[in-house]
């Protein structure tokens, strides 16, 4: 499904961002509203967190399907995220156990870190395969950036484990919604020097008269 179109259509970046972040923001808003409520459904009591988890799974499926319809392609990262949300979110709802969805970021970032680590052991940058079009870098730059991303993903996995195991559900939801997003943003900003130093962009030359 994800590889059917080798030339994906371009969509408005704001629409793409909205589709990717919309389910997370709605999950946060819904949790804040329903966190102290209990719902009696099909003979079982479900917390607001579990109900919003069920809605989150549905929203992720819908927005990912819409992205595929609009662009004709999904990245491997989007597919992996979708699968983990369905599996871990589904287990949380089915077993009425919030721990599974809380472990989803840990598994996701561990998977990313391990995949990049395997590539590094083979002397390759798998990150380049995903981001080459967006970030034209020289080979040595890709290897450095891949090592940093690998370490960063493992750090995010560890941070998620610490937060969900030692802190309240409310703290974890806030961390998942804003903390991880801010961490990713700050990490990219911190790599600006490396991106500039190893850029493979051709230098602009003045037009000859």
Read off the pLDDT of residues 163-194 as tens digits, 9 standing for 90 and up.
999 999 999 999 999 999 899 999 999 999 99
Same domain? 80 vs 139: no
Q: Do residues 107 and 38 both lie within one domain?
A: no
Q: Is residue 124 part of a domain?
A: yes
Look at 179 and 209; give whichever has higher pLDDT. Answer: 179
Q: Please check whether residue 54 lies inside any domain of the structure.
A: yes
Residue 8 has pLDDT above 80, yes or no: no
Q: 104 and 196, same structural domain? A: yes
Confidence of residue 202 (pLDDT cuts 50, 70, 90): low
Contacts of 133 (CB under 8 A, 6+ apart): none
Do 45 and 79 lie in one domain? The reply is yes
Say if 205 falls within a structural domain: no
- CA-based diameter of the chain, in Å? 80
The owner of tokens 């911190």 is 190
Average pLDDT of the chain? 88
58 plus 71 within the same structural domain = yes
What separation in angstroms does the CA of 12 have from each of 15, 54, 63, 76?
A: 5, 28, 15, 21
Q: How many domains does the chain have?
A: 2
User: Both 78 and 123 in a single domain?
Assistant: no
Question: Among candidates 67, 55, 88, which has minimal Cα distance to 13?
Answer: 67
Enclosing domain of residue 62: 1-97
Query: pTM of this prediction?
Result: 0.82
Give the tens place of pLDDT for each residue, 25-37: 999 999 999 888 8
**DSSP for residue 10:** P
Domain end point (choices 77, 97, 117): 97
């Amino acid at each position: 499904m994800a590889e059917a179109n080798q030339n994906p259509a371009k969509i408005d970046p704001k629409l793409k961002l909205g589709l990717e972040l919309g389910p997370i923001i709605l999950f946060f808003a819904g949790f804040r509203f329903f966190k102290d409520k209990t719902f009696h459904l099909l003979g079982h009591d479900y917390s607001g967190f579990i109900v919003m988890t069920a809605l989150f799974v549905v929203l992720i499926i819908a927005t990912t399907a819409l992205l595929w319809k609009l662009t004709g392609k999904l990245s491997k990262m989007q597919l992996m995220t979708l699968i983990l949300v369905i599996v871990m979110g589904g287990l949380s709802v089915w077993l009425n156990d919030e721990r599974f969805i809380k472990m989803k970021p840990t598994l996701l970032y561990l998977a990313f870190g391990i995949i990049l680590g395997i590539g590094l052991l083979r002397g390759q940058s798998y990150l380049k395969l995903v981001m080459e079009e967006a970030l034209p870098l020289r080979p040595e730059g890709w290897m450095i950036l891949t090592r940093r991303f690998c370490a960063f993903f493992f750090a995010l996995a560890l941070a998620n484990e610490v937060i969900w195991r030692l802190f309240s559900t409310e703290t974890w939801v806030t961390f998942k919604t804003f903390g991880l997003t801010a961490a990713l943003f700050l990490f990219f900003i911190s790599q600006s020097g490396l991106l500039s130093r190893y850029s493979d962009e051709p230098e602009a030359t003045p037009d000859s008269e």
